[in-house]
Amino acid sequence: MLRPIRGFVGARIILILIQCVFVLSAVEVAATVHHFTWEVGYMFWAPNCIENPVMAINGRFPGPTIRAKAGDIIHFDLTNKLSTEGVVIHWHGIRQIGTPWADGTASISQCAISPGETFPYRFVVDRPGTYFYHGHFGMQRSAGLYGSLIIDVADGLKEPFHYNGELNLLLSDWWHLSVHKQELGLSATPMRWINEPNSLLINGQGKSNCSIAAATCNFTELQQCAPEVLRVKPKQTYRLRIASTTALASLSVAVANHKLVVVEADGNYVEPFEVDDLYIHSGENYSVLIKTDQDPTKNYWISAGVVGRKNKTSQALTILNYESVHAGKLPDSRPPDTPLWNDTIRMRSFVEQLRGLNNSPLPPPAGAHRHIVLLNTQNLYRGQTKWALNNVSLSLPATPYLGSIRYSLIDAFDANVPLESFPNDYDIMAPAANPNCTVSSGVYWLQINSTVDVILQNANTMSANTSEIHPWHLHGHDFWVLGYGDGKFVDGVGDKNFNLKDPPLRNTAVTFPYGWTALRFVADNPGVWAFHCHIKPHLHMGMGVVFALGVERVQGIPGQALACGLTAKLFMNTKF
Amino acid sequence: MLRPIRGFVGARIILILIQCVFVLSAVEVAATVHHFTWEVGYMFWAPNCIENPVMAINGRFPGPTIRAKAGDIIHFDLTNKLSTEGVVIHWHGIRQIGTPWADGTASISQCAISPGETFPYRFVVDRPGTYFYHGHFGMQRSAGLYGSLIIDVADGLKEPFHYNGELNLLLSDWWHLSVHKQELGLSATPMRWINEPNSLLINGQGKSNCSIAAATCNFTELQQCAPEVLRVKPKQTYRLRIASTTALASLSVAVANHKLVVVEADGNYVEPFEVDDLYIHSGENYSVLIKTDQDPTKNYWISAGVVGRKNKTSQALTILNYESVHAGKLPDSRPPDTPLWNDTIRMRSFVEQLRGLNNSPLPPPAGAHRHIVLLNTQNLYRGQTKWALNNVSLSLPATPYLGSIRYSLIDAFDANVPLESFPNDYDIMAPAANPNCTVSSGVYWLQINSTVDVILQNANTMSANTSEIHPWHLHGHDFWVLGYGDGKFVDGVGDKNFNLKDPPLRNTAVTFPYGWTALRFVADNPGVWAFHCHIKPHLHMGMGVVFALGVERVQGIPGQALACGLTAKLFMNTKF
């Protein structure tokens, strides 16, 4: 049995949302404050019809969909109901301007919340867009700790495109192997890879050993995995909000017989362009418009399939249900094919179509104050497999950087500053002659308000003829994507083709195999910010860097964010 | 292939032990200080020939065997190398006189140690005996976080019995189901029981799908599960130190053809008595003497099998190897049979033979100042299965009691004091008419230096004709076991038969099905102390109480023990 969703504005009704509207006493401010009381715990659940422990918020998987308006204030009181694990939640795409301590990154912005304790996340959602939230401690995102976060335009304002209704697709991948075993295997010597996901999920629902398309799935026993049918009226325009919180998979999303018009990427408007299918990598968010202009007596498949890795996981499927048709009626056409997994040219041509909408902010024309090249390599460290940047693999410290830097606790992390480039003679097309890297918790110190260019330089892994996709995500800022190139970036050549006219602003961008990606951002948000590959096992194996800027200006860090490690020692007036 | 252990004093060589001997500067004190630097982390291991994650200390499972002399000072610097879980270690049987903050009980004596952090356990091992240590947070003991702790008599002193050598048996039970799933199942609605263990382990080694006795096990592939053969010389007396850290199983231990003479229970000497086999429940420790007076051209089975629960788990076996015989030669006789699982009379008659050795401390003759009766029942709370005492199931608070009571943070736990008895008309022989209990973090406040009697009153579970064994363990103190009885304890009748002449001192004692057990202790060690069923899932389901006494006198709590919850808030001079 397929399960239709009710209502027009898409997504599930948020039962637990307690929304209070009040006017702050300050004369000049009138903001809506949303209060959420959340509890994080494990529960048994069958996202792909097979039961396993999943991380849930208030007993729901995925977590509740949050909806607010630009300018609203969000108060999340997050209580850890896990038994022995700490927890944090990162609000992916929210820049946390002025509230870097609310970014929800363990070891970076705060101490993990201990079992039984509550942390007060307080921040402004300053900008409309399609976002999501997720765990950012260990592999907890892979355990299912995520949900959608949708910000509408402020009252009285309009989106720069028209639509009649919304549909929400939160995409993820799912393993039967517990995250604890995944994590242990990734750290083992030799490393044990997690392999390809057992299932792909759309809004937390998938399948593992049956085919919806062939109608061999029986959902009556386990409604938890029954696809969430998306109901539409004919002859309307719908906004599909699509976010990918996959641990590993890059995906291609298509709606059979319907074109997709891309209008938003990571909370920024883009010049609309039409595609048959959307490439989306882990950490990315898009809005696409579809017209329900097809035969209204039929239903249509919506598919998401793996690209970029040799595909061993079945497509996730759900149904676009024209309202006059029974939701359980299967489409009479096949689900859309997933494009060839290794067609990098097609994949890259998709992101190269992304252009900032007219009047979008442009990068500072004077160029960058700082030029950081990050060579992406797979390495070994004492027999463990690592990912490294300029031969340095990130190891997070016990005391979160935001507190240790704010209070000058220089013993809290490595004083050595990581490198800003790699040797000229490094051959990115072959495995490194010496695969060994170093491990460090060192920080890149950025000048406040400086313009920073980052070149992400991809390379061969430790296996010959292999280079992987890495979607890089920046916290606290958006960046302009200035361009992509094949092979090694050459200074004075690669930058000649930078798009300074209408580059898209984003928080996540991909490096393609053996290629480079050029980003620019203005480091104007005081705090300590992760910049990392959004593939969970890659981050676990050290694929990230840390940017610190203007930390001396940061105010209002709540005590809970500092109640661990050396900051606890500093602030607790008792014997350590 | 069987694996002999080298050396005469038994147990493995402690490679990581860095033992420094120095004389403290104070004129009156000359104590040996042992320094240990431990890291706790998961690793893949195959205790029963099947690989699973286990909790290891410095890469070893079980953790290193600790050996010191009475009066020595122990310094453990314990670093948490887990990814997202906190950790603590409890030193089971060490009373922590004057150092209640080093008892290693999360939510009671200290904040759990967060990932990456180090906690300094510092305490005196004041008394010789056979002990062990184990995790005391969530179900981490069941994950393999345990090891032996053996304290010899101080220099110049002698044990009150003679022996030529020692052998060490640390007993445990093992599940293939991860502790995370076990824990989640136990908390689920309805509860999902963990079922019987897949294997029993001796010194961390067992088997699951083969029989050593029938020689069908092939250990060459996985040495991790090869039994640790115990090598002996003929015509000698050996001390077997036997500790049980099982999560669930009560065990019977026997050495084929050899009698056991019991001489020590939980670090206290007992009047020697001879048995064919030893009953040992979770949390208990014994020393037994054996004489190697059998045919020295043969080897002999040592067996441990489940009693008290309908036996679904194979015996754990290893070999007593007379030194002139090849270690791999299997005994030509069968392993000792495990006694009938439900022969409670035989099981009780074993503990009733335990008598304090002549000149052992005796209970205060004046009787008790306080008389607490604890009815042991299985209950429901909002659909969850619980274990309760006088209808109250223990729920541990986020702020450890030792800190919250020491600093009068009365909001940290329930102010309601739990009941000291149960209604007269409660029928212990039948399931309760109303199975519902309450849940509380309330504390029993004991007068310092008062004498306390506790009657553990067993009862029927929620299923008809079922009553289970519960081995109760007291922290911070030993108690005298005054007696056991069948049915309901009747004041003025049951106490008539109390043994006040030579009751054994212990830290763990059993309540038998439908019976009662009477304990007495002098509450003379300031601190907050758990008293609980040592069966891990039972404690997880609330089967414990908390005693607080003289907390205002406690000094020297390290800051790390307070760096969470309301004590962190109190002591951190920054905004919470």
Whole-number average pLDDT of chain B: 93
Question: Is B565 within 8 Å of A116 when comparing Cβ atoms?
Answer: yes
Going by pLDDT thresholds of 50, 70 and 90, the confidence category of residue B217 is confident
Nearest residue on chain B to A571, judged by CA atoms? B572
State percent of chain B over pLDDT 70. Answer: 94
Q: Which of B84, B441, B570 is most worth mutating to test chain A (most A CB atoms within 10 A of its CB)?
A: B84
Nearest residue on chain A to B561, judged by CA atoms? A576
- Among B84, B139, B558, select the one facing A138 at the smallest CB separation: B84
User: What is the average per-residue pLDDT within A367-389?
Assistant: 97
CB A271 within 8 A of CB A292: no
Question: Is B559 within 8 Å of A568 when comparing Cβ atoms?
Answer: yes
* Å between A262 CA and nearest CA of chain B: 38
User: What is the average per-residue pLDDT within B98-124?
Assistant: 98
Fold designation for A166-352: Immunoglobulin-like (2.60.40)
Higher pLDDT, B114 or A7: B114
Residue A156 confidence (pLDDT) above 80? yes
Q: What is the pLDDT of residue B572?
A: 87
CATH superfamily of A3-162: Cupredoxins -  blue copper proteins (2.60.40.420)
Q: What is the pLDDT of residue B2?
A: 44
User: What is the average per-residue pLDDT within A439-463?
Assistant: 98
Counting other chains too, the contacts that B258-261 makes at CB distance below 8 Å and 24 or more residues apart are B258/B290, B258/B291, B258/B292, B258/B293, B258/B294, B258/B300, B258/B320, B259/B290, B259/B291, B260/B288, B260/B289, B260/B290, B261/B288, B261/B289, B261/B290
Query: How many residue contacts between A and B have a Cβ separation below 8 Å?
Result: 133
* Å between B160 CA and nearest CA of chain A: 42
Q: What is the pLDDT of residues A168-198, one digit of tens each?
A: 999 999 999 999 999 999 999 999 999 999 9
State percent of chain A over pLDDT 70. Answer: 94
Q: Where along chain B do its domains lie?
A: 3-158, 166-352, 370-571
- Among B107, B184, B560, select the one facing A53 at the smallest CB separation: B184
Question: Is B117 within 8 Å of A574 when comparing Cβ atoms?
Answer: no
Question: Is B115 within 8 Å of A112 when comparing Cβ atoms?
Answer: yes
CB A169 within 8 A of CB A286: no
Which range (A34-38, A224-228, B302-306, B540-544) has the least confidence? A224-228
Kindly state the tokens that stand for B434.
């109303």
- Among A83, A139, A178, select the one facing B183 at the smallest CB separation: A83
Cα radius of gyration rounded to whole Å, chain A? 23
Distances (CA, A) of B523 to A517, B84, B100: 69, 37, 13
- Phi and psi at B105, nearest 5°, equal -115, 115
- Among B83, B180, B573, select the one facing A571 at the smallest CB separation: B573
- Alpha-carbon gap, residue B78 to B39, rounded angstroms: 6
- Alpha-carbon gap, residue A557 to A559, rounded angstroms: 6
> So what's the ipTM on this one?
0.93
Question: Is B116 within 8 Å of A565 when comparing Cβ atoms?
Answer: yes
Please report residues of A whose CB lies closer than 8 A to that of B85: 84-86
Going by pLDDT thresholds of 50, 70 and 90, the confidence category of residue A212 is confident
- Alpha-carbon gap, residue A158 to A154, rounded angstroms: 8
- Among A178, A398, A568, select the one facing B568 at the smallest CB separation: A568
Please report residues of B whose CB lies closer than 8 A to that of A186: none
Q: What is the pLDDT of residue B28?
A: 46
Which letter does DSSP use for residue A280 in this model? Answer: E
User: What is the average per-residue pLDDT within A315-330?
Assistant: 94
Question: Is A178 within 8 Å of B183 when comparing Cβ atoms?
Answer: no
Q: Which of A178, A572, A573, A576 is most worth mutating to test chain B (most B CB atoms within 10 A of its CB)?
A: A572
Nearest residue on chain B to A44, judged by CA atoms? B184
Q: What is the pLDDT of residue A356?
A: 98
- Alpha-carbon gap, residue A247 to A135, rounded angstroms: 11
* Å between B407 CA and nearest CA of chain A: 12
Number of Cβ atoms within 10 Å of the Cβ of A332:
9
User: What is the average per-residue pLDDT within A152-179?
Assistant: 97
Q: What is the pLDDT of residues B14-29, one digit of tens each?
A: 333 333 333 333 444 5
* Å between A183 CA and nearest CA of chain B: 8
Nearest residue on chain B to A561, judged by CA atoms? B576
- Alpha-carbon gap, residue B232 to B299, rounded angstroms: 10
Distances (CA, A) of B511 to B308, B340, B466, B470, B483: 11, 18, 14, 5, 10
Q: What is the pLDDT of residue B27?
A: 40
Residue B3 confidence (pLDDT) above 50? no
Question: Is B563 within 8 Å of A568 when comparing Cβ atoms?
Answer: yes
Please report residues of A whose CB lies closer than 8 A to that of B139: 83
Q: Which of A79, A114, A439, A536 is most worth mutating to test chain B (most B CB atoms within 10 A of its CB)?
A: A114
Q: What is the pLDDT of residue A349?
A: 98
- Alpha-carbon gap, residue A567 to B560, rounded angstroms: 11
Question: Is A117 within 8 Å of B83 when comparing Cβ atoms?
Answer: no
User: Does the N-terminal peptide bond of residue A115 adopt cis geometry, omega within 30 degrees of 0?
Assistant: no
Nearest residue on chain B to A569, judged by CA atoms? B559
Are the folds of A166-352 and A370-571 the same? yes
- One DSSP character per residue, B53-113 reads EEEEETTBSSPPPEEEETTEEEEEEEEE--SSB-B-EEEET---TT-GGGS--BTTTBPPB
User: What is the average per-residue pLDDT within B260-271?
Assistant: 98
Q: Which of B180, B401, B557 is most worth mutating to test chain A (most A CB atoms within 10 A of its CB)?
A: B180
Residue B521 confidence (pLDDT) above 90? yes
Going by pLDDT thresholds of 50, 70 and 90, the confidence category of residue B434 is very high
- Among A44, A137, A564, select the one facing B117 at the smallest CB separation: A564
Which range (A330-334, B75-79, B159-163, B436-440) has the least confidence? A330-334
User: What is the average per-residue pLDDT within A351-370?
Assistant: 94
User: What is the average per-residue pLDDT within A364-374?
Assistant: 92
Q: What is the pLDDT of residues B566-576, one digit of tens each?
A: 999 999 877 77
State percent of chain B over pLDDT 90. Answer: 89
Question: Is A117 within 8 Å of B575 when comparing Cβ atoms?
Answer: no
Q: What is the pLDDT of residue A522?
A: 98
Q: What is the pLDDT of residue A271?
A: 98
Q: What is the pLDDT of residues A277-303, one digit of tens each?
A: 999 999 999 999 999 999 999 999 999
User: What is the average per-residue pLDDT within B23-46?
Assistant: 79
Residue A8 confidence (pLDDT) above 70? no
- Among B85, B115, B140, select the one facing A398 at the smallest CB separation: B115
- Among A560, A564, A573, select the one facing B576 at the smallest CB separation: A560
Please report residues of B whose CB lies closer than 8 A to that of A569: 559
Kindly state the tokens that stand for A447.
């000048």
* Å between A307 CA and nearest CA of chain B: 30
- Alpha-carbon gap, residue A206 to A215, rounded angstroms: 14
Please report residues of B whose CB lies closer than 8 A to that of A183: 83
* Å between A364 CA and nearest CA of chain B: 38
Q: How far is C-alpha A25 from the chain's CA centre?
A: 36
Q: What is the pLDDT of residues B550-560, one digit of tens each?
A: 999 999 999 99
Q: What is the pLDDT of residue B221?
A: 59
**Architecture (CATH level 2) of domain B3-158:** Sandwich (2.60)
- In the three-class reduction of DSSP (H, G, I as helix; E, B as strand; rest coil), residue B224 is classed as helix
- Among A117, A185, A564, select the one facing B398 at the smallest CB separation: A117
CATH 2.60.40.420 corresponds to the domain B370-571: yes
CB A102 within 8 A of CB A556: no
Pairing of strands A277-280, A250-255: antiparallel
Whole-number average pLDDT of chain A: 93
Going by pLDDT thresholds of 50, 70 and 90, the confidence category of residue A216 is confident
Q: What is the pLDDT of residues A393-416, one digit of tens each?
A: 999 999 999 999 999 999 999 999
- Among B44, B558, B563, select the one facing A184 at the smallest CB separation: B44
Question: Is A180 within 8 Å of B53 when comparing Cβ atoms?
Answer: yes
Nearest residue on chain B to A192, judged by CA atoms? B44
